Every structure is written in C-alpha cells, then in structure tokens.
C-alpha cells in the first residue's frame, strides 16, 4: 500500500519473516492471494452485505464488526463447507466501530462486561474458528517509564 506497491511490499515482508500481513479491504486481500501469497492475511475493514465467500474460500482472516456480519461470514463458510477465520472488533467505548456492548466497559465488573450482544455472538464465533479480537482502548494506556 500507500503507493509503494502492495504486492512488492508484501513479498518483502514475507521474505523478512512476516507471518501475518494486514490489509484494509477484501479486494486487497484477494489481490495478494492472486499474486501468490499463501500466508496469513487479516482484512480489518469489512462491511455487512459484502460477498464473503471469496475471502473465506481464499483463507483470509476477516474482521467482524457486528453480530450481523459474523452471521454473514458464518453463512458463507457453511455454504462453502469450510471454517472461516474471524477476528472480532469490539467497541470498548470510543464509538470507533465494532461489536457494541450494552454496558459501559469501564463501569461494569469484568464478569458482566459485554452484555447480551457479545454473549449471543460467542456461540457463532466459537463455531467459526476465531483467531482473535481487537479494540481501541476507551482510556489511554498507562504510561510506562522508559528504561535507563
């Protein structure tokens, strides 16, 4: 990306030992597959209603931002007879996208965090081979003092 030649940069990264690559869109992930990249690729920007069969069939890890989206990805995987690899984007309170929870993450005890939305999603996620989750922090990370 960024005008440097996505395929060339991906090859250089793989040659340097990168086990994972990240791309923004499904089209970018599929372009890497078409260029011969067979390693792990995470597509982090997806939207409900996309055609998920091509990336699922190509073994691309997809990010789901909503319960509806995870259901669509799971349906594509089921139709293909394969298991999708999915990462869940969780909105922790910044309203920057992701599966919303019903309670404010900073105020609820950990056992209650996430509300019904995350609980409902868990059954689908577990069946679809989740590879991770990610989120933007709703509070700044604590400052770590520099080592001398």
Q: According to the model, what pLDDT value does residue 23 have?
A: 95
Does residue 148 register a pLDDT over 50? yes
- How far, in Å, CA of 12 to CA of 30, rounded? 18
Q: According to the model, what pLDDT value does residue 30 have?
A: 98
- Identify which of 105, 131, 136 has the alpha carbon closest to the alpha carbon of residue 118: 105
Cα→Cα distances 11→21, 38, 72, 140, Å: 10, 11, 31, 35
Does residue 57 register a pLDDT over 80? yes
Does residue 73 register a pLDDT over 50? yes
pTM: 0.70
Does residue 10 register a pLDDT over 60? yes
- Encode pLDDT of 17-41 as tens digits: 999 999 999 999 999 999 999 999 9
Residues 6 or more apart whose Cβ sits within 8 Å of residue 125 = 70, 86, 88
Cα pseudo-dihedral 26, 30, 33, 38, rounded to 10: 20
Enter the tokens of residue 58. Answer: 């190509």
Given strand 20-23, what is the order of strands in its sheet?
20-23, 40-43, 61-64, 86-89, 130-134
Q: According to the model, what pLDDT value does residue 29 have?
A: 97
- Identify which of 86, 94, 43, 40 has the alpha carbon closest to the alpha carbon of residue 66: 86
Q: According to the model, what pLDDT value does residue 142 have?
A: 61
């Amino acid at each position: 990306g960024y005008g440097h030649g996505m395929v060339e940069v991906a090859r250089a990264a793989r040659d340097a030992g990168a086990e994972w690559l990240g791309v923004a869109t499904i089209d970018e992930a599929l372009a890497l597959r078409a260029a011969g990249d067979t390693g792990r690729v995470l597509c982090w920007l997806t939207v409900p209603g996309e055609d998920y069969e091509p990336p699922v069939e190509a073994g691309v890890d997809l990010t789901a931002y909503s319960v509806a989206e995870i259901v669509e990805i799971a349906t594509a995987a089921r139709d293909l007879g394969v298991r999708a690899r999915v990462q869940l984007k969780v909105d922790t309170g910044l309203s920057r996208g992701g599966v919303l929870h019903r309670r404010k993450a900073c105020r609820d005890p950990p056992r209650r965090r996430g509300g019904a939305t995350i609980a409902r999603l868990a059954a689908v996620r577990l069946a679809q081979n989740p590879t991770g989750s990610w989120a933007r922090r709703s509070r700044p990370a604590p400052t770590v003092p520099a080592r001398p």
